[in-house]
Structure 1
Amino acid sequence: MLRLDGIVFTLINLLILYVALRHFLIGPIQSVLEQRKQLIDGQFASAAGKEEQALQLKEQYEGLLADAKDQSRKILEDSRVRAQKEYESRVMEAEKQAGHIMEKARKDVETEKERAMDGMQKQVAQVAMAAAEKILTQNATAASNGSIYDSYIAGAGESHESDSN
């Protein structure tokens, strides 16, 4: 049969063993587990803080990148505007130069035309003088004067054509 003192002794041993295990084994293990839990929680909090910091830096860099893109667009647009103005300026300058060249050419043509007219007038005057001289040297009638004049003009024209060829 079972003895009561054996059961009580076993219960007391179990109670002492429980208290001893609780004090020497379970307590330190729970304390180590609690420290590890706090360490892990701290690391999670640190990681969350670093993640937040990284997100802020990312947003900051994205803002800087957007600003840089805006600045590059502005610089590009300014360059285009300056290039267009330079192009227009050069075109206007070229048009002015072309106008000056055309005006000079017109003046040169006018001058050459005047020279040619003066030359033709001198030649006509010389022809007329020569015809008058020939008519005066030959004492002839009015009809013969006209025929002498016509033959002289025809001869002068043929000699002028042969001189220019």
Structure 2
Amino acid sequence: MSFNWESTVFTLIAFIILYILLNKYAFKPLFSVMEKRKELVMGQLRDAEDNRKQASELLNEQKAALQEARKDAYEIIEQAKSTGSKQADDLIATAKSESNRLKDEAIRDIESEKNKAVAALRSQVSGMSVMIASKIIEKQIDEKSQEQLVGQYLKEVGDKA
């Protein structure tokens, strides 16, 4: 095997020319596209990282908001329970007050009716007493009258006899 310088030089020159042409027309646009692609991928990675951070922040905010909502709901429930208990106590107090008022009113009505009944009874008793007294007086008058009549009759009979 013999070494041919001319073909080596020619191959080298052809390779250099091919390299220059490829570099000018193929590698630069290819490297440019690859650089743009690299920048695009890097930008997307930065955006993805930013989005991940935002999502993490939003998740933490949502957790905090959910915790706050649970706390508010618990407070509302407790407030509703206390309000309901207070309203129940108020209703019971109102009912007791109303029942006491009705009881007092009933007692006053009963007392009033009792007083009316006692007054009516007194009126009737006094009327009956007057009637009884008048009957007794009538009887006494009748008995006296009878005694007088009997006495007069006896006297008249005694005078006639």
User: Within 1, Cα distance between the matches of 2:30 and 2:49?
Assistant: 28
1:24-81 Cα shifts (integer Å, max 9, x gaps): 3435533542342133122212222122212212321332133123213312431332
Structure 2 SS opposite 1:62: helix
**Cross-structure match for 2:13:** 13
1:61-117 Cα shifts (integer Å, max 9, x gaps): 332133123213312431332133123213211221221111121122122112212
**Cross-structure match for 2:125:** 124
TM-score, normalised with respect to structure 2: 0.69
User: Within 2, Cα distance between the matches of 1:22 and 1:40?
Assistant: 26
Q: Report matched runs for 1:42-81 at 5 Å.
A: 42-81=43-82
**Cross-structure match for 2:109:** 108
Higher RCO by CA contacts (8 Å cutoff, separation 6 or greater): 1
Matched residues, number: 141
User: Within 2, Cα distance between the matches of 1:3 and 1:125?
Assistant: 170
**Structure 1 letter corresponding to 2:83:** R
1:130-162 Cα shifts (integer Å, max 9, x gaps): 222222222349xxxxxxxxxxxxxxxxxxxxx
**Unmatched 5+ stretches in structure 2:** 145-161
Greater shift, 83-92 or 28-37, is seen at 28-37
**Structure 1 letter corresponding to 2:139:** Q
**Structure 2 letter corresponding to 1:12:** L
User: Within 1, Cα distance between the matches of 2:109 and 2:126?
Assistant: 25
* CA RMSD in angstroms, aligned pairs only: 2.9
User: Within 1, Cα distance between the matches of 2:137 and 2:12?
Assistant: 179
User: Within 2, Cα distance between the matches of 1:63 and 1:36?
Assistant: 40
**Unmatched 5+ stretches in structure 1:** 142-165
**Structure 1 letter corresponding to 2:16:** I
